[in-house]
Amino acid sequence: MSERIVRGRIDRSGALISADGPLLRLQQRAGAGLDKPLALPHLARLVALAQRLQRDISRPLYTADDHSDVHALVRIVPDADGASLEISDWRTHPVAQPQVPAIADTALTPQGWTWECDQQLRMVALRAGIQAPPVPSDWEGRSLSELFELQPDEDGDFPVLRALARQSRFDAQRVRADGPAARIAMTLSGEALFDATGRFTGFRGIAAPAEVVETPQAAVLVDPAFGSLPLSDPQFGRRIDGALRGPLSRIIATAETISGQFDGPIRADYARYAGDIAHAGRHLLGLVDDLADLQNIERPGFKAAADEIDLGDLARRAVGLLGMKAEEKGIRIDAPRTDDKMPATGEFRRVLQVLLNLLGNAIRYSPEDSLIWIRVDREGDRAMVTVADQGQGIDGDQQAVVFEKFERLGRTDSGGSGLGLYIARRLARAMDGELTVESAPGQGARFTLSLPARDVD
C-alpha cells in the first residue's frame, strides 16, 4: 500500500490550528479540538523540543485513544509561526476489552479491596470488604508491587506498568497477595487520577478475588520475578521481554522529561545525569528489542509484509532519526536528495529497522569529523540502498563472520548485543532481499541492502 502522511499545524502558542482526520480525532478524543492546546502529551513534548532547538526532529510517536494504541513516526518542522507535523507509518492496535467491571464506581465489594496509590505506585489507601482477607498492617507507603506480586498476562505484559507509562486506566492486572493460610490470587483494575492542573497523581481502583492458590510444593526450576514459568520454557524470552519493556520505557520517558527540562529548569549537571540514565535505558531497551526480534525471526514460518516502499524516503527517515547522534560526533551524513526515489517491495517498518541498524553502526564506528554517505540505486530487478562510512574497515576474515549471531568483531565495550547485523540480514532475506558488505582495512565499510524493485508507471 502507498504511504499516507497525516499532517497538522501548531501555532506559536502550542494550539492545533489544522489537522488531517486521524490526528484531529485523537485531539477530540483527548477532550480538545482545533484552536485548542495540543492534548496529546507525548506529541506536545516533541513539539516543544523542536521549537526549543529550532530544528527539524523525527521521532517515534506513541499515543492512544479509547479504542486503540497508535504507533507512528512524526517529523516536526518548527518555524517562526509555530511548527508543521508530518506523521507517517500510522499503525493502530486494538486495546483489549476490559475483563472486569468498569471502575466508574469503586464501591467496596464484600470479598475485595479498594486501593489508591500515588504517581510512584506507593499505597496511600487500602480498605478490605467485610468478607475479604484482612489487609496487611504495614501497607501504608509500600509500593504496589511490594504489596502485590504482579503477574504477567498471556502476552508477557504487565497492564499496570503499561498504564503507568501512558498515565491511563488499566484492567486485568493479575496479582498475588499474602492471605491468612494461602496466597490469594486477585485481579487489579485502576483509573488514572489527575489534579486540577492535569498533572498525573496516581491510580485508584479495586482488587477482586480470583481464586485461592495453595503454597506451591513442586520442585520445578522457576524465576520468582516471572511467576511459575519454568526457565526452560520456550516462552520465557517473551515473558522477559514483557517484564522489562514497561519499566525500561518508564525510566527512559521520565529521564528524558527531566533531561529536556519540560517541567521547568534544573541544574545543568542534574540534566546531564538524567540524559545518561535515558541513554543507558535506551541501550537496555535495545537489547530487549534485539532478543524479541531474534525470537520472532527464528520462529518457523516467519514472513515479512510486502509493502510498496521508497528506499530513498526510508533512508532520509533514518537520517532524521539518527542525525542528532551523528552531529554529536561531528559526522556529516550525505543522504539521498528528496527527488532520489527508489521504489521497492518490502515491509516498511522492517526496512527502516535495517537502515537504522546500518546507519547506527556507521555512526558508532566512524571517527569524529568524518563523512557517511547513503545512496540508492537499481540493478535489473533489484532496488538497493548503500550505507558507507570512513571507519577503520573490516578485513576479509571478519567479513565472513560479521553477520553471525552474537558476533561483535572482538569488541568488549557495551556498544551492542552482536545481534543487529544477524537480525538485519535475516529480515532482508525474509523480504526476498539480501544484505552484503564490502570493505578493506582502513578504507571504511559499505553495507548494501537489496530488495525486489518495483516498477512505477
pLDDT at 66: 54
pLDDT at 76: 92
pLDDT tens-digit series, residues 391-419? 888 887 777 788 887 655 544 444 555 67
Other CB atoms within a 10 A radius of the CB of residue 412 amount to 6
Cβ 406 vs Cβ 379: under 8 Å:
no
Domain 307-452 falls in which CATH fold? Heat Shock Protein 90 (3.30.565)
Taking the domains of the chain in order of start, what are their residue ranges?
Answer: 6-94, 113-215, 236-297, 307-452
What phi and psi, each to the nearest 5 degrees, are found at residue 222? -130, 165
Cβ-Cβ contacts under 8 Å for 262 (sequence gap 6 or more) = 45, 48, 49
C-alpha cell of residue 36: 485548542
Cβ-Cβ contacts under 8 Å for 261 (sequence gap 6 or more) = 271
Residue among 62, 85, 55, 59 nearest 318 (CA): 59
pLDDT tens-digit series, residues 311-333? 999 999 888 888 888 888 899 99
Report which listed range, 265-274, 320-329, 377-386, is most confident. 377-386
Please check whether the domain covering 113-215 is classified as CATH 1.10.3720.10: no
| Mean pLDDT (whole number) for 373-378 | 94
- Select the CATH number that applies to the domain covering 6-94 from these four: 3.40.50.12280, 3.30.450.20, 3.40.449.10, 3.30.70.940: 3.30.450.20
| Mean pLDDT (whole number) for 438-442 | 84
6-94 and 113-215: same fold? yes
Question: Up-side HSE of residue 176: CA atoms within 13 Å toward CB?
Answer: 16
What pTM was computed for the model? 0.46
Residue 8 has pLDDT above 70, yes or no: yes
pLDDT band at 358 (very low <50, low <70, confident <90, very high): very high
Other CB atoms within a 10 A radius of the CB of residue 112 amount to 20
pLDDT tens-digit series, residues 67-120? 566 778 888 999 999 999 999 878 776 544 433 333 434 445 666 778 888 777
Cα–Cα distance measured from residue 223 to residue 117, given in angstroms and rounded to the nearest whole number: 27
- Report the helix count and the strand count for the chain, using DSSP H and E: 10, 19
C-alpha cell of residue 112: 475485595
pLDDT band at 2 (very low <50, low <70, confident <90, very high): very low
Cβ-Cβ contacts under 8 Å for 252 (sequence gap 6 or more) = 278, 281, 282, 285
For the chain, the distance separating the N- and C-terminal CA atoms, rounded to the nearest angstrom, is 15
Q: Is residue 418 packed enough to be buried (19+ CB in 10 Å), middle (13-18) or exposed (0-12)?
A: middle
Cβ 394 vs Cβ 409: under 8 Å:
yes
Residue 181 has pLDDT above 60, yes or no: no
What phi and psi, each to the nearest 5 degrees, are found at residue 389? -125, 175
C-alpha cell of residue 231: 526457565
Cβ-Cβ contacts under 8 Å for 214 (sequence gap 6 or more) = 182, 183
The angle formed by the CA atoms of residues 367, 76 and 27, to the nearest 5 degrees, is 145
Residue 384 has pLDDT above 90, yes or no: yes
Cα–Cα distance measured from residue 171 to residue 316, given in angstroms and rounded to the nearest whole number: 40
3-state DSSP percent of the chain in helix, strand and coil, to 5? 30, 30, 40
pLDDT at 101: 36
pLDDT at 180: 53
Question: Up-side HSE of residue 49: CA atoms within 13 Å toward CB?
Answer: 21
Cβ-Cβ contacts under 8 Å for 269 (sequence gap 6 or more) = none
Buried b (16+ CB within 10 A) or exposed e, 264-291: eeeeeeeeeebeebbeebbebbbbbbbb
Residue among 370, 357, 333 nearest 422 (CA): 357
| Mean pLDDT (whole number) for 178-184 | 57
Cβ 393 vs Cβ 431: under 8 Å:
no
Lowest mean pLDDT among 201-205, 282-286, 400-404, 449-453: 282-286
